[in-house]
């Protein structure tokens, strides 16, 4: 594995611990080919598999992908259904990841998802719980603001029960109440690098708390066309940046 890394990235490259990916541009990819949007998502799901595996090969410890936002319900019903079907289909095939010892977790509000999908999510989480080569977080019905509200409610509940006093609410307490802290036995660290393909340059409510000091990498490539070499280019650019975290 170390040898592979050496061959793929220049000597001394700093690999981010946690990468977030906004998988954007599936619709435009399909439109360019006069195909239905759902075929763009299908192609995007293939890219997701390839890139996740490649991230593991490069030594990335956490990858979070934005698969469905709290705002995506505004899309046409048939597109939403196609995405939910795609998630279920993927979860049926998740053994590929199990073979690679990748832990799979989900972040977001599950209460609005169909029962069959929720059951599969839980089962994948359970069957991959003990893997530690890399953790893959899939954000479904996820919104950064919704996550902060969820954390605030959890803290309020604890205050109400007398387990916590308001003075004890600090950044750590809030951080430890986010969806990214609800992975049994683990808390995903802040995201180091956020990759957004397709030419858009915004965060779109993705990990707004965890991205406080993230570096951003934007590219015009549409997500279904994003290749392992593009991931390497993003990591190399990240490695060349000087992160100061507010210091000098
Ligand atoms: C944004 O592109 C993409 C999405 C809302 C869906 C992302 C989902 C996948 C890539 C499938 C991943 C599968 C699994 C199993 C996690 P867009 O449709 O907004 O593209 P556009 O801006 O070109 O219209």
Give the pTM.
0.94
pLDDT digits (tens, 9 = 90+) for 62-104: 999 999 999 999 999 999 999 999 999 988 877 666 678 899 9
CATH superfamily of the 16-142+190-237 domain: Decaprenyl diphosphate synthase-like (3.40.1180.10)
Residue ranges of the chain with pLDDT lower than 50?
1-2, 6
Nearest CA to ligand 1 atom 2: 24
List all residues whose CB is within 6 A of at least one atom of ligand 1: 23-28, 41, 44-45, 48, 65, 67, 72, 83, 86-87, 90, 138, 198
Q: Where are the beta strands (DSSP E) in the chain?
A: 18-22, 62-69, 102-107, 134-142, 193-196, 215-218
HSE at residue 173, side-chain half, CA atoms within 13 A, is 16
DSSP 10-37: -TT----SEEEEE---HHHHHHHTT--H
Give the number of other CB atoms < 10 A from CB of residue 149: 12
Pairing of strands 193-196, 18-22: parallel
Domain spans of the chain, in order of start? 16-142+190-237
């Amino acid at each position: 594995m170390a040898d592979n890394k050496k061959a793929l990235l220049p000597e001394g490259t700093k690999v981010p611990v946690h990468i977030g990916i906004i998988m954007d541009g599936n619709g435009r990819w399909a439109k360019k080919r006069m195909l239905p949007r759902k075929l763009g998502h299908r192609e995007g799901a293939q890219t997701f598999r390839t890139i996740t595996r490649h991230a593991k090969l490069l030594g990335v410890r956490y990858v979070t992908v934005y698969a469905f936002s709290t705002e995506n319900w505004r899309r046409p019903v048939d597109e939403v259904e196609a995405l939910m079907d795609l998630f279920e289909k993927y979860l049926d095939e998740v053994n590929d990841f199990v073979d690679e010892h990748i832990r799979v977790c989900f972040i977001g509000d599950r209460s609005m998802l169909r029962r069959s999908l929720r059951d599969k999510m839980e089962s994948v989480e359970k069957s991959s719980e003990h893997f530690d080569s890399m953790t893959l977080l899939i954000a479904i019905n996820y919104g950064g603001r919704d996550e902060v509200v969820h954390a605030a409610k959890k803290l309020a509940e604890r205050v109400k029960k007398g387990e916590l006093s308001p003075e004890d609410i600090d950044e750590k307490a809030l951080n430890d109440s986010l969806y990214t802290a609800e992975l049994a036995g683990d808390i995903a660290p802040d995201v180091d690098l956020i990759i957004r393909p397709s030419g858009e340059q915004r965060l779109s409510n993705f990990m707004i708390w965890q991205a406080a000091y993230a570096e951003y990498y934007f590219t015009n490539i549409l997500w279904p066309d994003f290749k392992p070499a593009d991931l390497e280019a993003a990591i190399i650019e990240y490695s060349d940046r000087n992160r100061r975290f507010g210091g000098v």
